[in-house]
Amino acid sequence: MSSHEQEIAGAVKVLALSAAQFLRCDPAKSHAVAIAAKGRFVVDEPRVWWLGFRRPHETHAYGDLQDWERRLVATIPPGTTRCWLIVESDGDSYPVYDVEVDVVAGVIKECSFFEYYLVDPEFNWIVSDTDHNQLIFVRLAS
């Protein structure tokens, strides 16, 4: 388990979230979700996915933690209740979580910074948080 996964597990415990709210997917499901998301939103083989996002996309710079949370919540399409949280990885294995949208920011805030992707369960949109204090949003036609 990576340090990011350990921090996420700790945050879920501290926040007393149920599996219905925040569930780590098994390796087979994680692999399937990551492959589907990458195939839908990423062109070529960039070092990190967001460098190869399909265009057009929106970029939203943020400042402090409050600004990040406000912009993240505003970026996720209204009415969205669940999404996939995909943790960026240096390897071929991407940890994936099935999460309720209203708890994901709380978990991320409990952790040290890491790059991640929030993905619509139908793979119509993706949000990335980069190490440049930017949220990148891509919406593709269904």
- Give the DSSP letter string of 2-50: -HHHHHHHHHHHHTT--TTTEEEPPHHHHHHHHHHHHHHHB-S--SSGG
- Look up residue 104 and give its two tokens: 């994901």
Strands 22-24 and 82-87: what pairing?
A: unpaired
Identify the pLDDT of residue 141.
77
φ/ψ of residue 127, rounded to 5 = -125, 135
**Mean pLDDT computed over 41-65:** 93
142 has a pLDDT exceeding 70: no
Please tell me the predicted confidence (pLDDT) of residue 90. 76
∠ CA 68-35-98, nearest 5°, is: 50
In this prediction, residues 60-80 reach a mean pLDDT of 95
Pull the structure tokens for residue 25: 């997917």
pLDDT confidence band for 1 (50 / 70 / 90): confident
Q: Average pLDDT for residues 16-40, to the nearest whole number?
A: 97
pLDDT for 12: 97
**Which tens digit of pLDDT belongs to each residue from 83-96?**
999 998 877 789 99
Answer whether 126's CB lies under 8 Å from 117's CB.
Answer: yes
Mean per-residue pLDDT over the chain, rounded: 94
How far CA 96 is from CA of 23, 67, 70, 78, 138, in Å, comes to 9, 25, 23, 22, 19
pTM score: 0.94
Give the model confidence (pLDDT) of 107-132 as tens digits. 999 999 999 999 999 999 999 999 99
pLDDT for residue 55: 87
Q: What percent of the chain has pLDDT over 70?
A: 99
pLDDT of 8 higher than 90: yes
